[in-house]
Structure 1
Amino acid sequence: MKSKLSTPALIAEIGCNFAGSLQRAITLSELAIKSGADYLKYQFFSAENLINEKYYLKTLGIENTNIINEINSLQLSKDNYEKLFYSNEENGYKWGISFFSVEDAKVFFEEKDFHKLKTFSFLKIASGEITDYPLLEYLSKVNRELKLPIIISTGISIDKEIKKVISFFKNQSTIYLLHCIVEYPVQTKELNLNRINYLQKKFDVESGFSDHSLSTIWAILSLFFGAKIIEKHFTDSRDNKFADNPISMQPSEFLEIKNAINNMKNIFGDGKLKISEKEIKELTYARKGLYASKNLGKNQVLRPSDLISRRPNFGKNDSKYYFQLINKKLNKDIKKEDPITLSDID
């Protein structure tokens, strides 16, 4: 990912939508790129390092002794992640990672050396990790050398917390703050897209939108609020009811967002008037010309009641010449409803 994006980037959050299948992970990654994604994003974690099983279950108020296995069943093994990342490398697919523990981050950077792959493009800090200071401290140390762009989701985060997480990576590389609502799916009334602008101005960084809605329109609309990054969960079908598939965008929807990004320059324009050839042709039928309201004789002085404005406009009879014609003497006879031009007066 470039340090400064000239065009907004579209990130496909693959997450755990592959449900532990390497082949599905590879297929989803390829499909996302073909559907317009500029970057892929994965979640690199193990359940043992993600949750405290005893208190997690207690907090949820459920009894389930298999939750560790259930969470891990959605993930790839480290060896399969290696195959996935090298598949991306071979195909030139750019990607980034969210980490959820120091332990798993160390596997990525120290045990497997995945960070040496050329297509590894950014680090992502999830909303839930914005106060995980041990993790942030480790990633900060790693990134002093890598100098990768840092993308930070700011869901349920107050300004003080955002300022703190920025401090870990300040002066290392470009930081992007993503407005995010931690609801799956987010309700329309909760979107608050003005937050995108606020983050940019408040923290003097580029901002974007991590969108959990079931629509494409809000992601597209975020461009008008200055979003430089749009992140959406990606799936081949929302009919898959596991992981985040039900709240993800399908290929045609991703293409819709990408097309809006590609056309953004034309949609926004530069504010200067540019009249197209089609508009010039329409001018004849859209604007009015001046015509005689009755038969008029040579040497007759034109009065307001002698003129009517009607479509079409032939240019020479443009109604903008009205004040130049009034009180002027005609140099020829003009029949009722014939056009009147400046050449018809002395």
Structure 2
Amino acid sequence: MNKQKSFQVSSDRTIGVGHPVYIIAEIGINHNGSLEIARKLIDEAVLAGCDAVKFQKRTPELCTPKDQWHLERDTPWGRMTYINYRHMIELGFEEYSEIDAYCKEKAIDWFVSCWDEESVDFMEQFNPGVYKFASASLTDHALIGKVKNTGKPYILSTGMSTIEEIKGAVDLFGTDNLLIAHSTSAYPCPPQELNLKMIETLAEMYPETPIGYSGHETGLATTVAAVAMGACFVERHFTLDRAMWGSDHAASVEPQGMQKLVRDIRDIEQALGDGVKRVYDSEMGAMKRLRRARPTASTL
């Protein structure tokens, strides 16, 4: 019997075994600093049937190495230093207040990956139902501890991490309020490096913890396969157009693809069944036409 826990993350949505797969459209920084683009992405996620949209929140001075602050790069706003670019793509309190109201209006969950402790304090103003850590943060124990102290469920993503690092984080912080996402941090990730069987490995290692999948591949089939292998939640990067300027767009799913992904996941959920063999009413006609004789007790 599966003993995995479930976590209610909003008034009408729960993540865990026995509940519909929780589908997250990872907007991240694909809004390119534009509230208008963020709204359009939320609209498309709602249209596709996603359960949540997720953003990323950073304090640029804390998350950008100082030796990169003054390196110049070309951006949609012209050539500027990297630290100024990081500020340009960050959304502030006013923008997130509007996102909060807009998501409530559209009845879709929203939350973020915080990259530093100040960002956790910032996000607590909006009382998110769940937090997520980027794979790069799995070894940032100070940040995990900060989120742990909020008492909210949190998702650890395991890309770029060894099994020892995963065990180290779980041993240190325990499994209370914990969800784990299998991931490989390549953008885009080739199929031979997705290693989807790690979903089963993590489920065996932590039988009381909901296990999910955060994918960075191109295509949809492997994410659907993750659901068939037991993922309780899935996350894919989401964009209006994969050709847009920005680091994550190329490894993201466009609106039409997200609609197909949600549809296929819901079909898989129904198709998995409960593992109890039965003869369905829909089979009776074929059985009567095609079987030469029904088995009797003496022939079994």
Q: 1:122 corresponds to which letter in structure 2?
A: V
1:282 has 2:295 as partner: no
Q: Deviations over 1:109-146 (max 9, x none)?
A: 3xxx222xxxx2211011101111221222222x2xxx
User: What does residue 304 of structure 1 align with?
Assistant: none
Instruction: Select which of 22, 34, 45 maps to 1:9.
Output: 22
CA distance in 2, matches of 1:126, 1:201: 23
Deviation at 1:273, TM superposition (A): 3.5
Distance 1:163 1:124 in 2: 18
Query: TM-score, normalization: structure 1?
Result: 0.72
Tell me, yes or no, if the aligned pair for 2:23 and 2:235 is still in contact at 8 Å: yes
Q: CA deviation at 1:197?
A: 0.7
Letter in 1 for 2:91: L
Q: 2:15 touches 2:232 (CA, 8 Å); kept in 1?
A: no
Q: Secondary structure at the match of 1:263?
A: helix
The corresponding residue for 2:170 is: 166
> What residue in structure 2 maps to residue 140 of structure 1?
148
More strand by share: 2
The 5-angstrom pairing of residues 1-346 of structure 1 reads: 1=9, 2=14, 4-5=16-17, 6-54=19-67, 66-109=81-124, 113-115=125-127, 120-141=128-149, 143=150, 147-167=151-171, 169-170=173-174, 172-173=176-177, 175-204=178-207, 205-283=209-287, 286-287=290-291, 289=292, 318=293
Does the 8 Å contact 2:114/2:133 carry over to 1? yes
Aligned mates of 1:283, 1:153 — CA distance in 2: 48
In 2, Cα distance between equivalents of 1:271 and 1:88: 37
How far apart are residue 277 of structure 1 and its match? Answer: 4.3
Secondary structure of the residue aligned to 2:31 is coil
- What is the letter of the counterpart of residue 131 of structure 2? L
CA distance in 1, matches of 2:85, 2:233: 32
Could you tell me how far apart the structure 1 residues matched to 2:246 and 2:290 are? 55
The alpha carbon displacement at 1:162 in A equals 1.6
Question: Matched residues in 2 for 1:169 and 1:20: separation?
Answer: 34
The higher relative CO (CA closer than 8 Å, separation ≥ 6) is in 2
Which amino acid letter does the alignment assign opposite residue 124 of structure 1? K
Cα drift, residue 247 of structure 1? 1.2
The one-letter amino acid paired with 1:18 is H
Instruction: Tell me how far 1:90 sits from its aligned partner.
Output: 3.2
Opposite residue 114 of structure 1, the aligned amino acid is: F
Structure 1 stretches of at least 4 aligned residues deviating more than 6 Å after TM superposition? none
Partner Cα distance (2:195, 2:93) in 1:
38
Query: For residues 207 and 319 of structure 1, what CA distance do their matches in structure 2 show?
Result: 44
CA contact (8 A) 2:188 2:251 kept: yes
- How far apart, CA to CA, are the structure 1 residues paired with 2:20 and 2:295? 42
Q: Distance in 2 between matches of 1:257 and 1:188?
A: 17
Distance 1:253 1:55, change over 3 A: closer
Q: Supply the distance in 1 between the matched residues of 2:145 and 2:64 (Cα, whole angstroms).
A: 20
| Letter paired with 1:16 | I
Output the CA distance in 2 between the equivalents of 1:129 and 1:39. Answer: 21
Give the CA RMSD over aligned residues: 2.7
Residues 89 and 168 from structure 1, CA distance in 2 versus in 1: closer, same or farther, beyond 3 angstroms? farther
Consecutive unaligned residues in structure 2, runs of 5 or more: 1-8, 72-78
More displaced, 178-187 or 268-277? 268-277
Counterpart residue identity of residue 44, structure 1: K
CA distance in 1, matches of 2:174, 2:250: 36
Shift of 1:46: 3.1
Which 5+ residue runs of structure 1 have no aligned equivalent? 59-63, 290-317, 325-346
Give yes or no for contact 2:183–2:215 (8 Å, CA) kept in 1: yes
Q: Secondary structure at the match of 2:130?
A: strand
Query: Which TM-score applies when normalising by structure 2?
Result: 0.82
Considering only CA atoms, is the larger Rg found in Structure 1 or Structure 2? Answer: 1
**1:19–1:243 Cα contact (<8 Å) kept:** no
Give the residue type in structure 1 aligned to 2:118: E
CA contact (8 A) 2:224 2:268 kept: no
Residue pair 2:228, 2:268 contacting (<8 A) in 1 also = no
Deviation, structure 1 residue 167: 4.5
Cα offset for 1:66? 0.9
Q: 2 CA distance for matches of 1:49 and 1:135?
A: 12
